[in-house]
Amino acid sequence: MTSQLTRRAFASTLAAAVTSIVLPMRLNAAPGHPEPRLGITGKNVLAKEQLAKTPNLIPLFDGIREIPEIADGIRCNCGCTNPPELRSLLSCFEGKGMARDCVICQGQARLAIRLHKERKSLSEIRSAIDAKFA
């Protein structure tokens, strides 16, 4: 008795095997969203003068500066929170301003700003960001 595996059966088996390996790794890769720190402000978000080489990003950085309590409660999905000094999306717009070069940070920030203007709660904003970027 010889058993032959069809291409379709092989592809199905391979997909199931890859999913069983990758899905648990992906689920463990993304920690939960951080809780916004009490009294957090946008004073450390890079200013216009610090964005001279990327003037098109000034409105985005200004927008994050206006909603620090929201941005500080959002996990950035680009992997930049691996260094301990980058705890939230807000952190990506402070210090070295890594968000200047990261389209994920920029996209999450644009979505957060837009949804905040639509009066969505932090929980609703987190859900929308997770749906699009996680």
pLDDT tens, 8-27?
A: 766 666 555 545 554 444 44
Asked if residue 21 belongs to a domain, the reply is: no
Question: Which residues of the chain fall short of a pLDDT of 50?
Answer: 18, 22-29
Calculate the CA dihedral of residues 68, 57, 60, 32 and round it to 10 degrees: -60
The answer to the question of residue 63 being in a domain is: yes
Domain, as residue range, for 63? 48-133
pLDDT value of position 24: 45
SS (HEC) of 71-110: HCCCCCCCCCCCCCCCCCHHHHCECCCHHHCCHHHHHHHH
Q: Is residue 114 part of a domain?
A: yes
* 132 neighbors 114 (Cβ within 8 angstroms): no
Number of structural domains found in the chain = 1
Q: Is residue 18 part of a domain?
A: no
The answer to whether residue 110 is domain-embedded is yes
User: What per-residue confidence (pLDDT) applies to 77?
Assistant: 84
Say if 39 falls within a structural domain: no
Residue 96 lies in a domain: yes
**Residue 72 counted as domain residue:** yes
pTM greater than the 0.95 cutoff: no
Q: Is the dihedral of CA 106, 32, 81, 69 positive or negative?
A: positive
